[in-house]
Structure 1
C-alpha cells in the first residue's frame, strides 16, 4: 500500500508539473515579442504591422498591454514596445508606389487613306485608280477634253499622296472603238499601266501617255481585275482604296454592283469610290449603287475644275483629320495624366493618414504610460515618436513629388510628340 501511494503521489506530481510548464508556455506565447525598433525610415516602413495596427486597434486592449510593462522604462524600451504594438503596415502602399505606372502613351488610330469612311483608319494605304478610257471620254466639258482633264487631275492627286502610300493605275475600254464591230475587243480591254508601288513622277506620267479614249465601258471587269492588282495587301493595318473615274455606266453586260460588293467583302476589303464625270441622271443612279456596294462614296463632277477641286478636298479632309487626331491625342494624354495623378494623390492621402493615425495612437500610448508612472524619460519617448513621424512624412512627400514630376514630364512629352506628328502630317496635305 505504501508503494502504491508513493507511485500515485509521484504521478500526480508529474502531471501537475506538466500542467504548470504548459501554462507557462501558453502565457509566453501570448506575450508580444519586442524587437529593437528601426531608426532609419526604410526600416520603419517595413517593420509593421504591430499587434494592434489598423483596424485591429482597440484602446482598452492596448492599455492592458501597457499595464503589463515594468516601471521606469527608458525612452528606447518604451518606444520598442509601442512600435511592436502600434506600428502601421506600410508595405502595401510601398508596393503600389514601387510599381506605379507613370507611362503616358496615346493610342488613337492615325488617319490614313483617301475618302475613308468614319471608323478605324490604317497606317498602310494603297490607292488604285480605275480610269474610264471609253470613247465618250473624248468629249468636251467646261475646261477641255474630259480625258485630258481627268489625267491632269489624277496626276496632281497622286503626286500629293502621303509618304509611304502606294498607287496603281488601271485603264479600261482603251482598245478598239466604241462601234459595235469592236465591242468584244473593247470589252476585254482592262490593263494595269502602273502596277502598285510608290509614286514615281516620270513613270506615272509615261503610264498616262500610253492610252487614249477609244471604246466601250467594261467597268465590272475593271473592278474584278483590281482584286488581282491588290492581292497580298490585306490585314487590319492595311487600307485598300479604289477610285473609279468614269463618265458613264457599264456597257459590256457586266455587273459592276456585284463586282464592287465582292471586292469590298473579300480579304482585301477594298473601298470602292466612284467619281462620275459629266454623267446623266440615269448614270448617276447606277454609279451610286456601285459605290454603295463597294462601301465607298459617289461624287458627281461636271468639269475639269470640279474634278480638281474634289480631289483637292480629299487633302483638306485628311489635313483636318490629322488636326483632329492631334487634338484628340493631346486630350487623351491629359486624361491619362489626370487619372494617374488622381490615383497617386489617393495613395499619398492614404500614406499620410496612416502616418498620422500611427503617430496619434503612439502619443496617446505615451501619455498613458506617463500617467501610470512607467516612464523614466517621457520627453525622450516623445522625441522618438515625433522623429518617426517626421521621417516617414518626409519620405512620403519625396515619393509623391518624384512620381508627380515624372507624370508631368510624361504628359508634356506625349503632348509634344502628337502635336509635332499632327503638324508634320498636316504639312503633307498643304
Structure 2
C-alpha cells in the first residue's frame, strides 16, 4: 500500500517535467535526431507571403457550355478515312472549291480546317451522312450554315449546299465553279428547269442553282454515291481487277472475245442467241486447263466483262479449284443470304433454244472468298465459282454522262420544235 502511493507520487513530477521540457523545446526550436545524437534546431519565425506572390489555380471559364461539350465530343469522335486505292481511283473526278476538295477531303480534314463544323443527324440516305458548318463566310456563302454530305463507308466529301440571299450572289458562286471546270478541262452541259432553276452537269457532279424558302441555294452532288462502298470493298480485298485466265474481269470487252474459227477446237461457243450481253463456252477455254462451263456477263452500256462464272466438270477439278482459292484468299466464309444481282444460267454442252433456266443469287447461301456478304466479289455455290467486278469505271461514268446529255438535247429539240409549230398557229383564233 505504501509502495504504491510512493510510486504514484514519484511518477507525477516526472510527467510534469516531460511536458515542461517539450514546451521549452517548442519555444526554442525543433528537436531533430542527427548522427551526433538528438539536437534542437532553432526554428525561424514564419514570414507572411506577399499577396501578389500567392499562387492561385487559374479558373477556366467557358462562356459557351455547348461549345465546350461540342469540342470534347469531337476529341472522342472516331473518324473514317478513304483508302489510297479509293483516292487514286477517284482522283480523275475530284472537284476543288476553296479549301475543300470533294472526293478527296473527308470529315476529319474538314473539321481540322473548320473547327465550327459538326455532324448532324440525317435519315435522308442509307449510304451518306451530313455535316453542318456555321462560319459560312469561310466558304464565301451566306445564310446560317453550309451543309456537306459524305459517304458513310469512308467519310469522303461527296457534295455541299450553300445558301445566298439573292439570285445574283448564287449565280456568281456557280460561276466560280464553272470557271474551275473550264480551267481543268472538265466537260459539262447546262440544263434550265425553270426561270429560277438551272444546273450544270459534269461526268461526276451536278451543280444546281435553285430558289429556296429564303433566298437561293447552290447545291453540289456527286453521281454514283451508292458505288462508293464497292470501291472500298475492292480496295480492301486488293482486287482492282480480277485475272480470269486469258481474260480480266473489269477490263476485257465483249468485242475482244474470240468467235467462230478463232476459238480453239477444245472450246465450244454455246451462247444462247437471245442473250445479247452474255456469252457461254464449254470445254477447255481461256487457259483453264480442265473441262468446264464458263458464263461471261458484260455491261450492256460499256461492253466490259463484269461477271465470270466458272463451273468445273468433275469433283476432282472442283476440289483443285477450291484449294487454289483457299491458298489465295484463305478459308471461305459462309453467307446465309448473299446480296448479288448475278443470275446463273444452267450448265449446257450445246446451245439451247427453249426456255432459259436461271438461278438468282440474291438471298441465296454461298461460300465467300473475297468481299462481304453484302458486297461479294468471289464466292461459290454448288461447285459454281463466281467472280464479280462492280468497280466504277471511267467508261461507265462517261457513258452515263453522254446519256444524260442526249436526253437534255432531245428535250431542248422537242421544245424548240413545239415553239416553232405554235408560232405558225398564232392568229388562227384571233
TM above 0.5: no
- Relative to the length of structure 2, the TM-score reads 0.23
Higher helix share: 1
Higher relative contact order (CA 8 A, sep 6+): 1
Higher strand share: 2
**Highest Rg: 1 or 2?**
1
